[in-house]
Amino acid sequence: MDSDDRQTGRILTRREALTLLGGVAILASGVPPRPGFAQALPACVVTPEQMDGPYFVDARLNRSDIRSDPADKAVKPGVPLNLILRVSSVAGAGCTPLAGAMVDVWHCDAAGAYSDARDPGFDTVGKKFLRGYQVTDAGGAVRFTTIYPGWYEGRAVHIHFKVRSAAGAGRGHEFSSQLYFDEAVTDRVHARAPYSALGRRTQRNNEDGLFRRGGSRLMLALTETGGGYTGEFSVGLKT
């Protein structure tokens, strides 16, 4: 199932990314910014844009806990992951939190299946588990409660995210990329049920074509928290 490398829909070019949101460049760092409304410029680099893949669905599910399917309330099992994304406007030597940006997150379950998709390995059309969006708060942050992703053929373990200029904005004003995980942490997680039912994964970061195109700058910073993990990533929009 390596179809996630297919480009579907409209993917921004580098030039378009640099003019995103009315003339901004996208920067990011796995290191969360220090507290404070305006702060010293973090160790940001231009974020590699990466494709939506075939499994993006603009479901418009405004929710922070994305583990369940809205229809039957069934919760996907897996190691808990609290995901925090911080979006800032970068100007001069400081980063100012950007409120009102719409941030979508979506990823596969512990068995490697995406919701609302039909693939040789699964048919989940109509389901909406592990999908949702939040709008950045006054501090530029969005928070999601989810699970550690599983794996599937042809891809390293990853989470998709999309930043749009504001809730309800059109697709022309958006930036999509993916977050990746430390291999040692993934090995420990995937040795546990329900992940272990899939057996040993076949694709690691350095074997993934998309990861080799900038994935080292898209690593999610993880800390262990209460039987699961908290992951943080900072995205800067440079005016």
Pinpoint the alpha helices (H) of the chain. 14-18, 20-23, 183-190
Alpha carbons 92 and 9: distance in angstroms, whole number: 34
The predicted pLDDT at position 153 comes to 93
Domain presence at residue 46: no
Domain presence at residue 137: yes
Number of compact structural domains in the chain: 1
Kindly state the average pLDDT of the residues 116-140. 95
Residues 86, 234: contact at Cβ < 8 Å? yes
Task: Name the least confident of 33-42, 58-67, 229-238.
Answer: 33-42
Q: Domain span at residue 10?
A: 3-41+66-238
Q: What is the pLDDT of residues 3-61, one digit of tens each?
A: 444 333 333 333 333 334 344 445 555 555 444 434 444 444 346 778 888 899 999 99
Q: What is the pLDDT of residues 133-161, one digit of tens each?
A: 999 999 989 999 999 999 999 999 999 99
Pinpoint the alpha helices (H) of 99-166. none
User: Is residue 132 classed as helix, strand or coil in its secondary structure?
Assistant: strand
- What CATH number is given to the structural domain containing 91? 2.60.130.10
Domain presence at residue 54: no
